[in-house]
Amino acid sequence: MNHSVQVPASNTNGQHDVRKNSVNQKFLAELEQQARALEPTQEELGELFTKVERYARRHISNVCETPAFVKSKERSVGLLSSPITETGISLDDTLQLMYDYVDHEGLNSGSPRYLGYIPSGGLPHSAFGDFLAAIGGRYAGVFHSAPGAVRMENMLIRWMAEVVGYPKGAGGYLASGGSIANLSAVITAREASGLRGADYDRAVIYMTEHTHHCVDKALRIAGMGSSIRRRVAEDDRYRMSAEALEKTIAADRASGLNPWLIVASAGTTNMGTVDPLEDIASVARSNHLWFHIDGAYGAFFALCPEGQEVLSGMDQSNSLVLDPHKTLFLPFGTGALLVRDQEFLGPAHGGRGEYMRDMDSDAHELSPAYLSPELSKHFRGLRMWLPLKLLGVAPFRSALSEKIHLARYAYERLQSFEGVQVGPSPDLSIVTFRYVPEKGDANEFNLALIDNPAERIMKRWQDRDANEFNLALVNNLHRDGRVFLTSTRIRGTVVLRLAVGSFRTHLEHIDEALEVLSEHVRALKES
């Protein structure tokens, strides 16, 4: 059968003769019948709801008992044996593929014993927000398209601004995570400062060795790869030294460079340390620099009294990144950028197309599409708004306080373990430590701060046995899988990290983690 649609013939005046339109209506009916599969019946929807709900319930009921990590990467290869085809398969078979090849390999980020990287957990309430957002299909980028969705996001932005102490003129948007939010912050600072391409190779950014690598990445993506990065000296707690910062800025200015941007951390990924934000803010003000804080991990600890004390000065920054998918426990893909003066966001990210003219006529609220890189925007606000409305802020505040105290508890217990060197006491909820075998270097942890290159090389040689021991220890923990911790290197020294961040992690899980850790230390010493 010929399924081509013929172009209508034109008459002598150049007009189409609709009588000769030969659209094949039978063919259209066939297409419609096949396309109707995309519109499930109520009965089909009922089956989807029932079976997916059963699957989700089983997952949640087992998430605390399943391993925190399954190191194998081969099991998921089986997924490739069921390729995408012209015709579908049953829901039962589809869910079985998920169960067999996706759910039981790699990290179980919902586990209470997931204590590596920066845990979260994926709050179930947020999943219902995502479900409703997907079902509704609201385009959340422009007010004209979905006034309620945009108002919801802007309300959440204002709430976060209040949490961190920003004034009423602050603004921002919900991003996919800290990397994109930090990129937007760099671009906003660049435009607000009036930097142009010819200025980039003289523009200086001040950070530390522990600044998240996404800031370097953001500078490259923003076209500022030629800019100068200064790794400011740190104090004995691995925090940016405000005194060293002041001196470095003065030296750069005297050399004819253009000090431009300070990037401080409200909780580093490596060690969880919080830079002295008030002191850095003072340096930024006196030198007229843009002051940005990467608070992707730590900023939400401002909700609890213990965090407020550590995070003092966060409100004095020009811009700030937060990740609700970290310490608000939301699903991955939820970040935020706040800017103290929202007027800087539009010029840095705005843009218009003629095809969007109808959307410009109803601007009762600022639209995220004109404040961020995204035009096509997921209705992220619902995954954040729903749990906050259902639960209120109080449980989140208590959970964050609990995480800080659990980290302090782990830190105290680790100090009593034979052969353990601990890092600085935790500012928030990350504990750093290492085991030193009898034949290793028994020097204090903070000797990793040695600046002299020759001494550092010697120390690395002395640390070789300790480093190998700790790497073997973390590898054995990963093979075991009951508890998941991660390692890092601090100036050549291998350090283990215990990061308390999941809403499901409680005292019993810290005790269990420390017991599993001790078990593997004993086994490694005997091997």
Q: How many CA atoms lie within 13 A of 434 on its CB side?
A: 31
Coil, strand or helix: which one is 65? Answer: coil
329 and 405 both lie in a single domain: no
Q: Is 494 exposed, middle or buried (0-12, 13-18, 19+ CB in 10 A)?
A: buried
Residue 313: inside a domain = yes
Per-residue pLDDT of the chain (527 residues; tens, 9 = 90+): 444 444 444 555 555 554 455 788 999 999 999 999 999 999 999 999 999 999 999 999 999 999 999 988 888 999 999 999 999 999 999 999 999 999 999 999 999 999 999 988 789 999 999 999 999 999 999 998 999 999 999 999 999 999 999 999 999 999 999 999 999 999 999 999 999 999 999 999 999 999 999 999 999 999 999 999 999 999 999 999 999 999 999 999 999 999 999 999 999 999 999 999 999 999 999 999 999 999 999 999 999 999 999 999 999 999 999 999 999 999 999 999 999 999 999 999 988 888 877 776 556 789 999 999 999 999 999 999 999 999 999 999 999 999 999 999 999 999 999 999 999 999 999 999 999 977 544 445 554 555 555 555 445 545 678 999 999 999 999 999 999 999 999 988 999 999 999 999 999 999 999 999 999 999 999 88
Residue 28: inside a domain = no
CA distance 69 to 107: 5
328 and 432 both lie in a single domain: no
CA distance 467 to 461: 10
Residue for token digits 């400062």?
Answer: 193
CA distance 149 to 299: 24
Per the structure block, which two tokens stand in for 494?
A: 């291998």
Residue 6: inside a domain = no
Closest CA to 300 of 256, 336, 347: 336
How far lies 332's CA from each of 130, 344, 457, 500, in Å?
Answer: 11, 27, 39, 17
Say which CATH number the domain at 175 has.
3.40.640.10
Where is the domain boundary, 392, 418, 442? 392
142 and 266 both lie in a single domain: yes
Q: Which residues contact 326 (CB under 8 A, 6 or more apart)?
A: 118, 120, 296, 297, 300, 501
CA distance 451 to 184: 33
Residue 57: inside a domain = yes
Residue 17: inside a domain = no
How far lies 202's CA from each of 218, 248, 251, 402, in Å?
Answer: 17, 14, 13, 45
Residue 461: inside a domain = yes
What is the per-residue pLDDT for 2? Answer: 46
Helix ranges (DSSP H) in 416-485: 453-462, 464-480
Say which CATH number the domain at 462 has.
3.90.1150.10
Could you tell me which residues are beta bridge partners of residue 293? Answer: 264, 320
Helix ranges (DSSP H) in 19-71: 25-35, 42-62
343 and 452 both lie in a single domain: no
**One-letter amino acid of 171:** G
286 and 320 both lie in a single domain: yes
351 and 426 both lie in a single domain: no
The DSSP line for 192-210 is HHT--GGGGGGEEEEE-TT
Per the structure block, which two tokens stand in for 19?
A: 């009588």
DSSP 488: E
221 and 285 both lie in a single domain: yes
- Taking the model in full, what pTM does it have? 0.91
Where is the domain boundary, 392, 409, 436? 392
Number of domains in the chain: 3
378 and 399 both lie in a single domain: no
**C-beta separation of 112 from 74 below 8 A:** no
Long-range CB pairs of 230-237, under 8 A, 24+ apart, other chains included: 230/204, 230/205, 230/206, 231/207, 232/206, 232/207, 232/208, 233/451, 234/208, 234/209, 234/210, 234/449, 236/424, 236/446, 236/449, 237/273, 237/424, 237/427
Q: Is 446 exposed, middle or buried (0-12, 13-18, 19+ CB in 10 A)?
A: middle
CA distance 31 to 35: 6
Strands (DSSP E) found in 222-379: 228-231, 258-265, 290-295, 319-322, 335-339
**C-beta separation of 498 from 513 below 8 A:** yes
230 and 266 both lie in a single domain: yes
Its domain, for residue 222, covers 129-392
**C-beta separation of 150 from 142 below 8 A:** yes
312 and 184 both lie in a single domain: yes
322 and 415 both lie in a single domain: no
Closest CA to 324 of 380, 264, 402, 403: 380
Q: Which residues contact 515 (CB under 8 A, 6 or more apart)?
A: none
368 and 291 both lie in a single domain: yes
Residue 72: inside a domain = yes
Residue 20: inside a domain = no
Per the structure block, which two tokens stand in for 457?
A: 């090389």
Where is the domain boundary, 339, 372, 392? 392
What is the per-residue pLDDT for 1? Answer: 44
Torsion sign (Cα): 471, 472, 477, 481: positive
